Amino acid sequence: MVKFLKPNKAVILLQGRYAGRKAVIIKSFDDGTRERPYGHCLVAGIKKYPSKVIRKDSSKKTAKKSRVKAFIKLVNYQHLMPTRYTLDVDLKDIVAADSLQTKDKKVTAAKETKKRFEERFKTGKNRWFFTKLRVYSYNHVVFAIDWCLEIGIEDLDFT
Amino acid sequence: MVATKKTKKTHESINNRLALVMKSGKFTLGYKTVLRSLRNSKGKLIIISNNCPPLRKSEIEYYAMLAKIGVHHYNGNNVDLGTACGKYFRVSCLSIVDPGDSDIIKTLPGDH
């Protein structure tokens, strides 16, 4: 009986343009608002994951490969898959409920989030968050492989 | 290692307890509402039938692990679970929100 859809929780988006992307909950609205009368939350996620950086990359290449593109979105709880991971990045001051109202506020918030994400990626912590979720399609059904490994199914009967 | 076989007696007592919950408590039936009750932590116990698809079963167990809510694997399929709930339809998973007069919450979750 523990609430787990709390700020700093890492989640995976299940629907929409950003399906399959990992995100972190910034603010949750459990009882909804007047415009959205359902449980939803404000998430900041990764639009474009950083590429794999290897040791023999030059510093210019490393800088280019570690770039992250971020997005901010209000998502219904039904379109999220919560995970057991958390991401401790302080995004409350840059992303607020009103950041999504105008385009330029959204862009500045996304740019700041991108910066914070890139800093966190460079420290090498929260590696799970910055790796792409491996997804493949089998008979028109899409399964998330490392999602299944995460929840402990090794052998699925695809019916 | 001897496999623990659920005796007929405990199975009947689960059915009795479930019937009491249906009469006096609050519950929701079905996958969507089970997830909803897990998300807002209103559920106290989740019961899953044995023929629930394994991906769905694991998903419910994962949510329940995050929410620290007990999960009971019912010894019967969705037809049996529906009958145990007194319904004329199949029930694959259900969530007990308020057990009413029943002690099902105290006696069941030794089982995960």
Q: What is the pTM (predicted TM-score) of this model?
A: 0.86
Length of chain B: 112
Mean pLDDT of B60-69: 93
The overall average pLDDT reported for chain A is: 86
Mean pLDDT within B65-88: 94
Residue B21's nearest CA partner among B107, B103, B99, B106 is B99
pLDDT (tens digit per residue) in B18-56: 999 999 999 999 999 999 999 999 999 999 999 999 889
Q: What percent of chain B has pLDDT over 90?
A: 71
Q: Does B98 contact chain A (CB < 8 Å)?
A: no
- Here the ipTM equals 0.84
Query: Looking at chain B, which runs of residues are DSSP E strands?
Result: 26-29, 45-48, 70-73, 93-98
Q: What gap in Å lies between CA A32 and CA A104, rounded to an integer?
A: 25
**Single-letter amino acid, residue A17:** R
Cα–Cα dist A115/A124, whole Å: 15
The partner residues of A126 in beta bridges, in order of sequence, read: none
Measured at the CA of B94, the angle between CA A79 and CA A153, to 5 degrees, comes to: 60
CA distance B39 to chain A (A): 7
> Quick check: B66 and A30 CB within 8 A?
no
